[in-house]
Structure 1
Amino acid sequence: MKASTRQRRIIELLLEQKHEITAADIASIVGASTRTIHRELSDMEPLLAANGILLHKIAGLGIRVEASDDALERFKQSFDRSDSLEYSAEERKILIFCSLLEHDEPVKLFSLAHELRVTMPTISHDLDELEESIVKQGLTLVRRRGYGVEIVGPEEAKRHAVSLLAINHLDDTDLFGQFADLAVSNPITAQLLDMIGKDNFKKLEQALWELSDDWSNTLSESDYTRLLIKLSVALTRIGHGCVIPADRTSKSEVIPLLQGLLDILNIRLPIQEQAYFSHLLDQEAFPESSLLIHHDDMPTIEGVKLLILRVEAQLQMSLTHDRSLEEGLIQHIKPAFQRIKDGIAIRNPMLAPIKKDYSALFSIVRSAVQEIYQKIKVPDEEIGYIVMHFGASLERLKPFPRKVRAVLVCTSGIGSSKLLAVKIAKELPQIELIGHYSWFEARRLPPSRYDLIISTVDLPLEPDRYIKLSPMLTTEETNKLRSYIEGTTLKKISSAAAAETDASGHSPMDRLLLLQLYSGIVLRLLDGFRVHDLTLEQGQAHLEQQLPAMLSLIGETSIDTHLTKISEQLIARERQGSLVIPDTELALLHTRSEWIEAPLLALYRFDTPLQLSEDGAVQASQALMMLGPLKLDTYSLELLSEISAMLLLPELLTVLEHGNAASIKLFISKKLEHYIKTKLDWRES
């Protein structure tokens, strides 16, 4: 049975459907254009007809297969036993790239042609098209007659290339699902899973799960997956003898996270590999860990606020008070747009149903994104993810008796619970997921902390206390979960308990405790706030020269003792990119340091511009300094970030420029009071 890999995917999709599916939906799922799908369907019709199967096309509904049960069963058995005899040009190039990265010696063109079942000129043409992307990744494609073809370059670049292929062509179901089942139907999936190392990936996931208390909250889901892939690729290639050459300058310093990882895995690495892994973990697991606010957070926040305003104007309903929407978009857009700039493909298997279910919202969001982010071409796949954030916000705006606090239980580490958490957040945003736990941990949680346990495995509990779901959360399971909550969980909550807990999920005691916590941080921060007017001497107007004096004015003993070191940290931060608020002369200077004991805020005004760059091109007449301890609690960091977001408000900029310390404190305290009330969903009686 001759069929290309794409045709096999289309056939499998049609056989799985109980109802009609449109060509556009098929195109989105298999990654092709609608025109290509129509062409493939025409080519496939004779093959299907020869097996007693008809393609039934219904205008306005879609396509489905028609055949007797016996004919379908015979075809499925024959189809499952058959091989895919053809690869698309894109599939061939991926497999060629993988093959060359796997071999540390030349590969003959004849061997590649035989393996992929095409002619040698076809392979040569594929290599021509591959060469540019290979060079971009710091590698060289060597091709010589009689010698063969190979990829040469640094081991670090080869690892990066393998990781990028995996990031672009594997999704969470491939990575966290059952490898054996997933690899059978797709040769590219099988090849990439082998190259990243199936066993290593699972071991690393479990090891990082055990170490997660120390660092995992700093990573997004996509960042966590990317880190796992890079670590697994490195371990797998080391196992195959592909190691980074020894370098006399390599340092043997091992960061604590790596040491913990090596201890759990019970492995030892050469010095140069320790340096590589330490850099990888430091870069991926602790990005910008010394900073309070990343230097390009401000444009991200500004863009998200504009996007929400554009969309709510079109929808004619207010979204600006939905803090979850704003925070979610800020966390999502920044890394997502960076991946687009880096050329990493965006995959969105939900695109077709998103376009179908949110057609009007999709058009509104796409138009707003194109208007605000004109310098980047955002594909529909990414628009789909942004639409999901707005769709979730619209769901949150619908009346619901109360939030349902749920605990996720999974015995296989963070992978399957991660998948399920993402699905629940998209399908049922009314559920507040308070954490991922093993059953051992979950059974020790006080019952008052949660309303429901959602598990991927059977638990020794009564049926009314938990629900078992698969990590994929199918449509049927989504409906099952919704019905379970409405019919069991919410009914189980007594009227007395319901009266004590408002729609925010906070009891009066919870709200008061959080209010005390937030207000204590704000009062300590604003109580220490001062405005300092500085006169800059001629020839002493550079930031490096003024920082020690600026820090000494704060009057903290721990800072005075380490003026030089904290100054160096602030300078290092500034060199990453000056943070002068757009269209102002206000600079934001900030860092986190082991020598700072508590969050601090200070404003400096200069009689002549302060030089922030060596050439004097970047200047500021004012500087707002934010300092925080290296280990800063979530609540303090949240409030400092909120103050930084206020710098987009023209009213605050005016007060900072002309007001005294009291008026500045008043403005910030009013804004933070409103923020805390919104955060706690505090309603005046």
Structure 2
Amino acid sequence: MKKITARQRQMLWILLGVKEEITAAEIAGSTGVSVRTVHREMEDIEQLLGDFGLDLIRKSGKGIALSGSEDALAELRLFLREEKPAEYSGEDRKIYELCTLLEAEEPVKLFTLAHSLKVTVATISYDLDELEPWVRKFGLELVRRRGYGVEIAGLEADKRRAICRLAAEHLDLSDLVGHAPRSESNPVFRLLLTTVGKGRLMTVESILWDMEWKWTAELPEIVYMEMLLGLAVTTRRIEIGRGIEIGRGIKSGEDAGFSRVSDHLSIAGAEQFVKRLEAALGQEFARAEILYMAGLFDRVQESFSSSGIAYGDIELMEIVYRLTESVAKRTGLPFQRDRSLREGLLEHMDPALKRIREGTRIRNPLLGPIRKDYDYLFTIVRAAAQDIGLELTIPDEEIGFLVMHFGASTERLNQLKRSVRAILVCASGLSSSRLLATRLAKEMPQIEVLGNISWYEAARLPGTDYDLIISTIDLPIGKERYIKISPLLTGEEIEKLLSYIQNITLKNREPASPGESDQPVREEAAALDRLKSYKGILDEAVSLLERFRFHPLDNTGLSLSRTLAGMLELLNGSGVVGDADILLERLLERERMASQVIPDTGLALFHTRSSHVHMSSLTLYRLSQPVLLEGGTEVRVILLMLAPRRLSKESLEVLSEISALLLNSELVKLLEERTEPEIRRYLSSELLHFFENKM
């Protein structure tokens, strides 16, 4: 029997894991190759299947499936579990080496690694040379000495960060939370999943959900998943005796994540969480681990609450504005008018640029199909990304995600009346969910897309809230409860989806008795929700504009810190500010992180969100003399935007809209030169226009 490759093994496990046909595009997306490569591999796979008495069925318009007896399928599964792949890829070797070294209690001999991977010691040594820069990024050291072996030395907290990054670079959501067979097909991925604590990940997630913390429900899915992964890694490290000790990894509560600007809100919550975790897992957590988790919770809240819908991030808004303008000029399409596109790009690009700057590998399993179906748009977006001068190399994988945003904007149509209510679950976030939603609106108008939710919300959503779940990843729920397709919605997948709706969705939906239909009730509830949303936007806009104030400020001889302190002092008695010292630290910290200056102006936007802000506030200060910011830039005018940590979606939208308006030269001129009533009138007019467009 011919030796099979690791890729062929992976494809066979995918075919064994589905009950019906699966498209070549879906297999390509799961394995990270092109559709053409899938069809080429199927030729060799078909020959292998003949040895087991199995057939490979390929149906035009439906997909690919295995056909044969249960005994033959069981024999194939046994073969795949026992048969070793022909060779490990270079990437697989490096994952194996990192997992082994990060879990090892003592140095590992090069010969041991070479023997396990069936390569020479020289090959292992070359791999380690390539891994050394990656290891250093986490403050760790790759120690290699003749006769001693090799080990990764450093703080335990840094090793945990490295493991989480390794998972982010090589694992999909399906690997972590679904029933995907990739771990069975590849021993290296089994090792990686063990290293990140997959065996306990769903238990940890269930406890995290049961805590019913409001802030976790507000987190974007990618942030929630990163936090969950960090907690799962922590349980695995404690299980193998790699706990954090006071003085090693963290020196005190402050080093665990509680800096001076922290709100100190997470220790009590971490104690409650750990108590439940100990009962569920049957293991004890030291005090240092509670502080570590509290620091993790605190940093997640701080990083998320400071971004919101990217409100106030002028640098990011400028990038989105220039990218959109560039693509619009090249295509002739009015992308600038699409607020949904702008909001989607803002939410996507903030973490994307962070990953690129950190050197994190970006995975986009849909890159091949995207380049095929959107080749013209891909070329345009890549050229536009180069034009805006980010001084960063944007990989094609990231360009692919941006193309999905612009593709969704291109295909966006007015909503039609639908008869089947669908929920979307997309691993790649807004880019894939919006593209899939618009493709569905165009190709299958009978489907009403109710919204996009996370995998963990989908697992708990009552069946009465929807007719159909459409997912781009495997979900930790029964196969009969959802259908998996790609965001590109190929012709094969349209047929598959129609068949699913006709044969499963509509048959499972019980007909309502005459007079008992709940459609009017649902429509009334939806209408009420929209009215509440509109009211929230209006209330926030009106209260913010009514509180808007302009102050001239004499800052002669004052530093930036003392100037900001003077600005905050003028807010005393307004009911806006609690602890002004903490707010001052936050404003200075944000300025150190990124420029607050509006490009090509003498105006800066200083902003923060904190529990020490009691209500949203917008105030303008014109200084008697320029103040010097980080990077040597001088400004004479500062707009101060403050908001509470907990904010409604509607309030965030209003703040984000005001931030976006700062890219308008007319508003900048008003802020620099005109009176308070004139500025308020302009903002009122623009926010009214924003509100009218929401309706």
TM range (shorter): 0.7 to 0.9
Q: Is 1:621 the counterpart of 2:636 in the alignment?
A: yes
Q: Is 1:303 the counterpart of 2:315 in the alignment?
A: no
Q: Is residue 309–residue 652 contact of structure 2 (8 Å, CA) maintained in 1?
A: no
Task: For residue 648 of structure 1, give the secondary structure of its aligned residue in structure 2.
Answer: coil
The aligned amino acid for 1:114 is H
Q: Mark the CA change 1:505 to 1:304 in structure 2 (over 3 Å): closer, same or farther.
A: farther
Q: Mark the CA change 1:657 to 1:480 in structure 2 (over 3 Å): closer, same or farther.
A: farther
After superposition, what is the alpha-carbon deviation per residue over 1:7-58, rounded to whole angstroms, capped at 9, x for unaligned? 5446778999989969xx9887645799999999999999899999999xxx
Distance 1:103 1:190 in 2: 17
Corresponding residue for residue 678 of structure 1: 693
Corresponding residue for residue 479 of structure 1: 498
Q: Mark the CA change 1:112 to 1:547 in structure 2 (over 3 Å): closer, same or farther.
A: closer
Q: Is residue 405–residue 433 contact of structure 1 (8 Å, CA) maintained in 2?
A: no
Distance 1:323 1:402 in 2: 24
How far the C-alpha of 1:194 sits from its partner, in A, is 0.6
The aligned amino acid for 2:654 is L
Q: Which runs of 5+ in 1 are unaligned?
A: 56-60, 409-415, 458-466, 681-685
Corresponding residue for residue 208 of structure 1: 208
Distance 2:507 2:322 in 1: 40
Q: Is residue 590–residue 626 contact of structure 1 (8 Å, CA) maintained in 2?
A: yes
Q: Is residue 290–residue 591 contact of structure 1 (8 Å, CA) maintained in 2?
A: yes
How far the C-alpha of 1:251 sits from its partner, in A, is 2.7
Corresponding residue for residue 374 of structure 2: 358
How far the C-alpha of 1:341 sits from its partner, in A, is 2.3
Q: Is residue 138–residue 157 contact of structure 1 (8 Å, CA) maintained in 2?
A: yes
Q: Name which of 546, 566, 573 aligns with 1:556.
A: 573
Q: Mark the CA change 1:302 to 1:441 in structure 2 (over 3 Å): closer, same or farther.
A: same
Q: Is 1:519 the counterpart of 2:541 in the alignment?
A: no
Corresponding residue for residue 553 of structure 2: 534
What is the percent sequence identity of the aligned residues?
37
Corresponding residue for residue 666 of structure 1: 681
Corresponding residue for residue 327 of structure 1: 343
The aligned amino acid for 1:136 is K
Corresponding residue for residue 251 of structure 1: 253
Task: For residue 215 of structure 1, give the secondary structure of its aligned residue in structure 2.
Answer: helix
Corresponding residue for residue 436 of structure 2: 427
Corresponding residue for residue 265 of structure 1: 277
Distance 2:69 2:239 in 1: 49
Distance 1:255 1:594 in 2: 16
Q: Mark the CA change 1:273 to 1:661 in structure 2 (over 3 Å): closer, same or farther.
A: same
Corresponding residue for residue 476 of structure 2: none
How far the C-alpha of 1:576 sits from its partner, in A, is 3.6
Q: Mark the CA change 1:374 to 1:545 in structure 2 (over 3 Å): closer, same or farther.
A: closer
Distance 2:570 2:500 in 1: 58
Corresponding residue for residue 163 of structure 1: 164
The aligned amino acid for 1:393 is S
Cα RMSD, aligned residues only = 4.7
How far the C-alpha of 1:624 sits from its partner, in A, is 0.9
Corresponding residue for residue 151 of structure 1: 152
After superposition, what is the alpha-carbon deviation per residue over 1:359-388, rounded to whole angstroms, capped at 9, x for unaligned? 332232222223225522222222222222
How far the C-alpha of 1:291 sits from its partner, in A, is 6.8
Distance 2:405 2:613 in 1: 37
After superposition, what is the alpha-carbon deviation per residue over 1:537-589, rounded to whole angstroms, capped at 9, x for unaligned? 4x2x3233334443343463545875545444434444444412111111212
Distance 1:66 1:199 in 2: 29
Distance 2:532 2:293 in 1: 42
Task: For residue 397 of structure 1, give the secondary structure of its aligned residue in structure 2.
Answer: coil
Q: Is residue 423–residue 473 contact of structure 1 (8 Å, CA) maintained in 2?
A: no
Distance 1:186 1:116 in 2: 13
Q: Is residue 530–residue 603 contact of structure 1 (8 Å, CA) maintained in 2?
A: yes
Q: Is residue 593–residue 628 contact of structure 1 (8 Å, CA) maintained in 2?
A: yes
Q: Is residue 306–residue 608 contact of structure 2 (8 Å, CA) maintained in 1?
A: yes
Q: Mark the CA change 1:381 to 1:547 in structure 2 (over 3 Å): closer, same or farther.
A: closer
Distance 1:187 1:627 in 2: 51
How far the C-alpha of 1:478 sits from its partner, in A, is 3.6
Corresponding residue for residue 645 of structure 1: 660
Distance 1:423 1:470 in 2: 17
Q: Mark the CA change 1:422 to 1:259 in structure 2 (over 3 Å): closer, same or farther.
A: farther
Q: Mark the CA change 1:589 to 1:199 in structure 2 (over 3 Å): closer, same or farther.
A: same
TM-score scaled by length of structure 1: 0.79
Q: Is residue 406–residue 434 contact of structure 1 (8 Å, CA) maintained in 2?
A: no
Corresponding residue for residue 233 of structure 2: 233
Q: Is 1:386 the counterpart of 2:406 in the alignment?
A: no
The aligned amino acid for 2:239 is G
Q: Is residue 427–residue 478 contact of structure 1 (8 Å, CA) maintained in 2?
A: no
Count of aligned positions? 643
1:96-111 equivalent positions in 2, closer than 5 A: 96-111=97-112
Q: Mark the CA change 1:320 to 1:343 in structure 2 (over 3 Å): closer, same or farther.
A: same
The aligned amino acid for 2:537 is Y
Q: Is 1:606 the counterpart of 2:623 in the alignment?
A: yes
The aligned amino acid for 2:232 is S
Task: For residue 241 of structure 2, give the secondary structure of its aligned residue in structure 1.
Answer: coil
Q: Is residue 542–residue 612 contact of structure 1 (8 Å, CA) maintained in 2?
A: no
How far the C-alpha of 1:134 sits from its partner, in A, is 2.6
Distance 1:141 1:657 in 2: 54
How far the C-alpha of 1:269 sits from its partner, in A, is 2.7
Q: Which runs of 5+ in 2 are unaligned?
A: 255-263, 442-448, 472-478, 487-492
Q: Mark the CA change 1:485 to 1:276 in structure 2 (over 3 Å): closer, same or farther.
A: same
Q: Mark the CA change 1:561 to 1:132 in structure 2 (over 3 Å): closer, same or farther.
A: closer
Distance 2:356 2:270 in 1: 30
Distance 1:373 1:585 in 2: 22
153-162 or 372-381, which moves further after superposition? Answer: 372-381
The aligned amino acid for 2:391 is K
Q: Is 1:338 the counterpart of 2:354 in the alignment?
A: yes
How far the C-alpha of 1:656 sits from its partner, in A, is 0.9
Higher relative contact order (CA 8 A, sep 6+): 2
Q: Mark the CA change 1:514 to 1:341 in structure 2 (over 3 Å): closer, same or farther.
A: closer
Distance 1:69 1:270 in 2: 53
1:422-501 equivalent positions in 2, closer than 5 A: 425-429=434-438, 431-433=449-451, 442=462, 452-454=466-468, 469-470=481-482, 472-473=484-485, 475=493, 478-480=497-499
Task: For residue 151 of structure 2, give the secondary structure of its aligned residue in structure 1.
Answer: strand
Task: For residue 360 of structure 1, give the secondary structure of its aligned residue in structure 2.
Answer: helix
Task: For residue 337 of structure 2, give the secondary structure of its aligned residue in structure 1.
Answer: coil
Distance 2:192 2:292 in 1: 22
Corresponding residue for residue 363 of structure 2: 347
How far the C-alpha of 1:520 sits from its partner, in A, is 2.4
TM-score scaled by length of structure 2: 0.78
After superposition, what is the alpha-carbon deviation per residue over 1:364-418, rounded to whole angstroms, capped at 9, x for unaligned? 222222322552222222222222222222333256236986568xxxxxxx897
Distance 2:310 2:302 in 1: 12
Distance 2:171 2:613 in 1: 43
Task: For residue 266 of structure 1, give the secondary structure of its aligned residue in structure 2.
Answer: helix
Corresponding residue for residue 462 of structure 1: none
Work out which of the two has the higher radius of gyration on C-alpha atoms and give 1 or 2.
1
Task: For residue 2 of structure 1, give the secondary structure of its aligned residue in structure 2.
Answer: coil
Task: For residue 621 of structure 1, give the secondary structure of its aligned residue in structure 2.
Answer: strand
How far the C-alpha of 1:279 sits from its partner, in A, is 1.9
Corresponding residue for residue 3 of structure 2: 2
Q: Mark the CA change 1:288 to 1:609 in structure 2 (over 3 Å): closer, same or farther.
A: farther
After superposition, what is the alpha-carbon deviation per residue over 1:603-624, rounded to whole angstroms, capped at 9, x for unaligned? 11123213446xx934321111
After superposition, what is the alpha-carbon deviation per residue over 1:342-361, rounded to whole angstroms, capped at 9, x for unaligned? 22222222222222332332
Corresponding residue for residue 464 of structure 1: none
Corresponding residue for residue 312 of structure 1: 328
